[in-house]
Amino acid sequence: MSNDLRLLEVGIRQKVFKAIDIMKQSFELKSLGVEDICVVETKRTLATQMAYYSRGRMAVKDVKLMYNAAGLYNISNEEAKTPNTWTLESKHLEGKAVDLAPMRNGVIWWNAPHEVWELMGEIGESTGLQWGGRWKENKDTPHFQV
């Protein structure tokens, strides 16, 4: 799992840089309480994608083994039981996707209000990215791709 923007494909990299720049300067996001923007994940290995995919689909002990084999963190039992992804064919594997999240009080603000995610989505779209918050099924609000 990496959050290195340099691992992104050239075609998406500039759009992501631009989007993050606009998000960081957005007065509207600031007024909603966003202090910064966090790059959660860029390019993903197949081992990581498979580990994510195993969540909620395999026994907890096997999910833990998958996480370990992929070099990920020690996942809790609760997380291991919770599905995390619906596909093995993520754009993250090709370096054509990024997950961005708002930050507040120095930590990722996962339960930020809908307006925050919506605004971040619109900003990403304005730079030419597709936003996972528009998907009809399996909405993925931190996710942007080309």
Q: List residues binding Zn ion (CB under 5 A).
A: 97, 99, 143
Select 5 or 65, whichever has its Cβ closest to Zn ion.
Answer: 5
Instruction: Kindly state the smallest distance separating residue 56's Cβ from Zn ion, in Å.
Output: 17
User: Which of 134, 144, 130 lies closest to 97, judged by CA?
Assistant: 144
In whole angstroms, what is the distance from residue 105 CA to residue 112 CA? 12
Residues 89, 91, 95: CA angle, nearest 5 degrees = 130
Select 40 or 65, whichever has its Cβ closest to Zn ion.
40
CB of 111 to Zn ion, least distance (A): 18
∠ CA 127-111-85, rounded to 5°: 70
The nearer residue to Zn ion, 22 or 39, going by C-beta atoms, is 39
Kindly state the smallest distance separating residue 76's Cβ from Zn ion, in Å.
21
Nearer to Zn ion, 55 or 99 (CB): 99
Instruction: Return the number of other C-beta atoms located less than 10 Å from residue 56's C-beta.
Output: 15
Q: Which alpha helices (H) appear in 2-142, and where do they start and end?
A: 10-25, 27-31, 46-54, 60-69, 77-81, 114-126
Minimum distance of Zn ion from residue 27's CB (angstroms): 27
Q: Least Å distance between CB 98 and Zn ion?
A: 7
CB nearer Zn ion, residue 66 or residue 99: 99
